[in-house]
């Protein structure tokens, strides 16, 4: 009889653990997915930009014609690449400001940081 009771407890533990794993997974995935849906641009701040990834700081697609923002500035030292049609710049994460005339010099900034008066068009954009 003790063997049957132990088997029953083991089955219940397995059921509890598997149920807990499903609940844990859903409690993690739902907020992450909801956060991605809420990554809409704020009034005028991210004009010409679209966020990608699960959070705004994780990635942006910026129109190559966007001026006065770090992501399209010659001096911004963050990870970025230009689309094959040269109309968009994809950036990820933060970058260092390498413009000695900027108030943000040697500080990390987001690609949408700006507008700024010391901006210079990134040469790779043409």
Q: Name which residue leads in pLDDT, 124 or 12.
A: 124
Of 78, 42, 39, 75, the residue nearest 56 (C-alpha): 39
- Between 121 and 21, residue with greater pLDDT: 121
In sequence order, what are the residues at sequence separation of 6 or more whose Cβ sits closer than 8 angstroms to the Cβ of residue 119? 67, 68, 69, 72, 73
Does the pLDDT at position 40 exceed 50?
no
Which residue spans within the chain are E strands per DSSP?
Answer: 49-51, 60-63, 76-77, 80-82, 88-91, 95-97, 108-109
- Give 93's pLDDT tier (boundaries 50, 70, 90): confident
pLDDT over 80 (residue 8): no
Listed by start position, the domains of the chain span: 1-38, 49-125
> What are 102-120's pLDDT values in tens digits?
999 999 999 999 888 899 9
């Amino acid at each position: 009889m003790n063997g049957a009771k132990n088997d029953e407890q083991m089955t219940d533990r397995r059921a509890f653990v598997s149920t807990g794993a499903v609940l844990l997974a859903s409690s993690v995935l739902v907020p992450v997915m909801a956060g991605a849906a809420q990554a809409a641009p704020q009034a005028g701040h991210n004009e010409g930009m679209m966020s990608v990834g699960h959070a705004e700081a994780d990635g942006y697609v910026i129109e190559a014609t966007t001026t006065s923002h770090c992501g399209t500035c010659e001096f911004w030292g963050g990870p970025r690449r230009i689309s094959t049609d040269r109309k968009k710049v994809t950036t990820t994460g933060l970058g260092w400001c390498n413009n000695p005339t900027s108030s943000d010099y040697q500080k990390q900034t987001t690609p949408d940081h700006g507008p700024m008066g010391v901006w210079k068009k990134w040469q790779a954009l043409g």
